[in-house]
């Protein structure tokens, strides 16, 4: 997958496909009493997607949004693309609640616990079967080859350049060679 759907594609005459940039600002530090307003403002300013950092307090020590917040945001912003990054221990348990809440994209961490039957492929299938797009994420220290077997089955790759679970961290430029490697392997 890793390319735009045909309805969003521009046909180019070149050796490399065009890579469309997507702006997806995080709502993690928004004013929760005004989340719908903040989200609408981000979209008005040109955001393509709204990035929602979902934390369970186990995979990462902090707790953030869950399905009820996603459902409320979906109700207030019916057309928004909700890019949900799940920093959770057992992502399979979150698939149906997030789909029901209105998530557009479900991005899971390769380091999280996978279903005992079928592993990562079973999780990817469950996400797709629920009507969401699939993203795969890795922590800064996880080697790029940890996701090679799944690259052709996902719509998005998220390479963390901070330690997951905390806002306000310094960008880890040491992760950028991994980004370069993934881009060269999967243009």
Rounded to whole angstroms, the maximal C-alpha distance in the chain is 48
pLDDT for residue 187: 74
pLDDT of residue 145: 94
Query: Which distant-in-sequence residues (6+ apart) come within 8 Å of 181 by Cβ?
Result: 144
Contact (Cβ atoms closer than 8 angstroms) between residue 2 and residue 152: yes
pLDDT at 29: 86
In this prediction, residue 18 carries a pLDDT of 66
Which residues, including other chains, have CB under 8 Å from residue 136's CB and lie 6 or more apart? 107, 108, 110, 147, 150, 151, 154, 156, 157, 158
| pLDDT of the residue at 3 | 36
Contact 2, 157 (CB under 8 A): yes
- Give the strands of the sheet with 82-87, arranged side by side: 50-55, 82-87, 105-109, 133-138, 156-159
In this prediction, residue 17 carries a pLDDT of 56
| Token reading at 72 | 């409320």
pLDDT tens string for the chain (187 positions)? 433 332 222 333 334 456 678 899 999 888 889 999 999 999 999 999 999 999 999 999 888 989 999 999 999 999 999 999 999 999 999 999 999 999 999 999 999 999 999 999 999 999 999 999 999 999 999 999 999 999 999 999 999 888 777 777 788 888 899 999 998 887 7
Locate the DSSP E strands across 20-80: 50-55
Which single residue is written with the structure tokens 């996400």?
A: 127
Its pTM stands at 0.86
As a whole number of angstroms, the distance between CA 164 and CA 26 comes to: 13
């Amino acid at each position: 997958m890793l390319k735009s759907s045909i309805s969003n594609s521009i046909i180019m005459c070149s050796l490399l496909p065009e890579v469309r940039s997507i702006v997806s600002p995080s709502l993690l530090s928004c004013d929760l009493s005004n989340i719908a307003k903040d989200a609408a403002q981000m979209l008005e300013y040109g955001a393509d997607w709204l990035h929602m950092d979902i934390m369970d307090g186990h995979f990462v020590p902090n707790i953030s949004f869950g399905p009820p917040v996603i459902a409320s945001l979906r109700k207030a912003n019916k057309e928004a693309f909700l890019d949900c990054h799940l920093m959770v221990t057992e992502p399979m348990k979150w698939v149906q609640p997030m789909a029901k809440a209105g998530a557009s994209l479900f991005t899971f961490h390769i380091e999280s616990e996978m279903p005992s039957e079928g592993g990562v492929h079973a999780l990817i299938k469950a996400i797709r079967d629920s009507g969401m797009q699939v993203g795969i994420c890795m922590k800064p220290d996880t080697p790029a080859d940890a996701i090679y077997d799944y690259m052709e089955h996902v719509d998005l790759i998220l390479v963390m350049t901070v330690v997951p679970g905390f806002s306000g961290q310094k960008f880890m430029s040491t992760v950028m060679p991994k980004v370069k490697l993934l881009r060269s392997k999967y243009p």
